[in-house]
C-alpha cells in the first residue's frame, strides 16, 4: 500500500509547462523581470483585483520587505500571533521590531480581536495578523482598531490565496497582504511570493528592495537585496493559475469526504466554514480534544501506516529557542494558542488525494484508542 504524503504540489500538464517555457530557450532571458514575470504580474493583478502586485522569489522575503518598506522606527512593537509559521515572527524581528503576541480565538485560530487593544502601547507601530489554514481574520474589526489607533496592518495571507470575504479578494485588506506561492500551497510557482497593496508610493520602494536598488545600467538608488522571481517560477504561476478553479474544486471534494467521516466524532473538533467567506480548502486541521487518543498517539498511528500528518502549528513561535528570554515571548501568555498547538494535526490535503485514501486516513484515526 502506497504512503500518503501530507501534501503534494499541484502542477500543470507537462506539455503545457514546456510550451510556456519554450520561449525562454529562444530569448535566454531567465530572470530580471522578463516577459513571463510581467505577464504573470498582470494576470495576478487582474485575478486578485488589486492595483499593485510585486513578485518575489519567496513569501518570506516578500513579507520582510514590505515590513521594511513601511519604515517603522527600530524597536517599535508589532502585534502579531504566535500561531503561525516561523517566517511571520522572523520577518518582524529581522526588521529590528519587537513582536507582541496576541492570543487566537478558539473557533478559527486567527488573532483574537478582543485582545488586540489591550496590547497596544505608545510603541506599537503595526498589526501583522495571519489568515490561518485559509480561514480569514476578522478584517472588519482589525480595520476599525487600526484606523482608530493610527496603525498599519500587514496581513500574512500565505494561506489565503483566492479566498474572498463578502466577495472581496483577500488581497485587498489592510495596507498590504503577503502571499506565499511555495510548492505546498494551494497555488504555487515552485517557490515564490507576492506583496499586494494600494499605495502607489510602495511600488518603486519594493522593486528597489528586491533588485539591489538598481534603476538603470549606471544608476543605483537604494541599498537593496536580491529577491527576484525567476522566469521559470513565473511560467509555473501562469500555468497553475489557469487550473486553479479545478484544483480548488478537487480540494473541496476531499474536505467534504473528511467531514463525512469525522464531523460527529466525540473529541474531534473541525473548523466550521466561515460566514461570508469563499474558501480555498488550503488545509484540513483537526483538533483532538477529549478524543480517546491523544494528538501524538494519532500522529504516530498515522505514521506507522505510512500516512503523513503535520503538527501545524507546533511549537508556537513565541516558544522557539531563539526567542527564549524575550519579554514578549512565552506560550503561557497565549493560552488558547498553546492549547490548540498541543492538540492540532493537519491531515493530508491536496487536489489529487484519492477519496479512498481519505477513507483510509479516517479509518486509521478512528481505530486509535481501541
Domain ranges of the chain: 14-242, 245-367
pLDDT for res 370: 65
Cell numbers linked to 62:
516578500
pLDDT for res 2: 84
Could you list the mean pLDDT of each consecutive 10-residue stretch along the chain, which spans 370 residues? 92 98 96 97 98 98 98 97 98 98 98 98 98 98 98 98 98 98 98 98 97 95 97 98 98 98 97 97 98 97 97 97 93 97 98 97 91
Distances (CA, A) of 214 to 28, 87, 210, 219, 226: 21, 26, 9, 6, 10
**Edge-first strand listing for the sheet containing 285-288:** 268-270, 285-288, 344-346
Q: Which residues contact 227 (CB under 8 A, 6 or more apart)?
A: 56, 57, 58, 61, 62, 65, 209, 210, 211
Q: Hey, what's the torsion of the CAs at 238, 248, 64, 206, to 10 degrees?
A: 40
Pairwise CA distance, residues 245 & 247, whole Å: 5
Residues 35 and 234: beta-carbon distance below 8 Å: no
Distances (CA, A) of 72 to 18, 210, 211: 44, 19, 21
Pairwise CA distance, residues 91 & 61, whole Å: 8
Cell numbers linked to 65:
520587505
pLDDT for res 322: 97
Residues 164 and 172: beta-carbon distance below 8 Å: no
Residue 336's SS3 state is: helix
270 CB burial (10 A radius; 0-12, 13-18, 19+): middle
169's enclosing H/E stretch is strand 168-169
Per residue in 115-154, pLDDT (tens digit) is 999 999 999 999 999 999 999 999 999 999 999 999 999 9
Q: Residue 164: phi, psi to the nearest 5?
A: -130, 140
Per residue in 315-345, pLDDT (tens digit) is 999 999 999 999 999 999 999 999 999 999 9
Burial 231-246, CB ≥16 within 10 A → b, else e: bbbbbbbbbbbebbee
Strand partners, 309: none
pLDDT for res 318: 98
Residues 101 and 78: beta-carbon distance below 8 Å: no
344 CB burial (10 A radius; 0-12, 13-18, 19+): buried
Residues 56 and 195: beta-carbon distance below 8 Å: yes
Strand partners, 197: 52, 176
Cell numbers linked to 282:
488550503
Neighbours of 222 (CB within 10 A): 15
- Going by C-alpha positions, the residue among 270, 291, 327, 358 that lies closest to residue 99 is 327
Tell me the Cα Rg of the chain. Answer: 21
Q: Which fold has domain 245-367?
A: 3.90.1150
- Going by C-alpha positions, the residue among 240, 234, 336, 343 that lies closest to residue 286 is 343
Provide the whole-model pTM.
0.97
Q: Which fold has domain 14-242?
A: 3.40.640
- Going by C-alpha positions, the residue among 59, 42, 255, 258 that lies closest to residue 156 is 59
Strand partners, 152: 126
Amino acid at each position: 500500500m502506497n504512503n500518503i504524503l501530507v501534501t503534494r504540489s499541484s502542477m500543470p500538464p507537462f506539455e503545457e509547462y514546456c510550451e510556456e517555457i519554450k520561449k525562454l530557450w529562444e530569448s535566454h532571458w531567465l530572470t530580471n523581470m522578463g516577459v513571463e514575470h510581467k505577464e504573470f504580474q498582470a494576470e495576478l493583478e487582474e485575478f486578485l483585483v488589486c492595483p499593485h502586485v510585486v513578485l518575489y522569489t519567496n513569501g518570506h522575503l516578500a513579507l520582510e520587505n514590505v515590513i521594511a518598506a513601511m519604515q517603522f522606527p527600530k524597536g517599535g512593537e508589532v502585534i502579531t500571533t504566535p500561531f503561525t509559521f516561523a517566517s511571520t515572527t522572523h520577518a518582524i524581528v529581522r526588521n529590528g521590531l519587537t513582536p507582541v503576541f496576541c492570543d487566537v480565538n478558539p473557533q478559527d485560530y486567527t488573532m483574537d480581536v478582543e485582545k488586540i487593544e489591550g496590547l497596544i502601547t505608545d510603541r506599537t507601530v503595526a498589526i501583522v495578523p495571519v489568515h490561518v489554514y485559509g480561514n480569514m481574520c476578522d478584517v472588519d474589526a482589525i480595520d476599525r482598531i487600526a484606523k482608530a489607533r493610527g496603525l498599519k496592518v500587514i496581513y500574512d495571507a500565505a494561506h489565503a490565496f483566492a479566498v474572498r470575504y463578502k466577495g472581496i479578494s483577500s488581497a485587498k485588506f489592510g495596507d498590504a497582504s503577503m502571499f506565499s506561492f511555495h510548492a505546498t500551497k494551494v497555488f504555487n510557482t515552485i517557490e515564490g511570493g507576492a506583496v499586494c497593496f494600494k499605495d502607489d508610493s510602495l511600488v518603486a520602494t519594493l522593486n528597489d528592495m528586491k533588485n539591489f536598488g538598481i534603476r538603470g545600467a549606471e544608476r543605483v538608488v537604494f541599498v537593496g537585496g536580491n529577491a527576484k522571481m525567476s522566469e521559470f517560477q513565473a511560467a509555473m504561476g501562469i500555468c497553475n493559475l489557469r487550473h486553479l478553479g479545478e484544483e480548488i474544486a478537487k480540494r473541496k471534494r476531499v474536505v467534504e469526504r473528511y467531514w463525512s467521516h469525522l464531523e460527529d466524532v466525540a473529541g474531534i473538533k473541525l473548523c466550521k466554514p466561515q460566514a461570508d467567506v469563499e474558501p480555498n480548502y488550503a488545509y484540513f486541521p483537526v483538533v483532538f480534544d477529549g478524543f480517546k487518543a491523544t494528538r501524538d498517539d494519532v500522529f504516530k498511528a498515522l505514521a506507522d501506516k505510512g500516512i503523513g500528518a503535520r503538527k501545524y502549528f507546533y511549537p508556537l513561535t513565541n516558544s522557539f529557542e531563539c526567542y527564549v528570554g524575550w519579554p514578549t515571548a512565552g506560550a503561557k501568555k497565549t493560552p488558547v494558542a498553546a492549547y490548540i498547538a498541543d492538540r492540532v494535526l493537519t491531515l493530508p490535503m491536496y487536489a489529487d488525494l484519492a477519496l479512498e485514501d481519505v477513507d483510509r486516513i479516517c479509518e486509521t484515526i478512528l481505530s486509535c484508542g481501541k
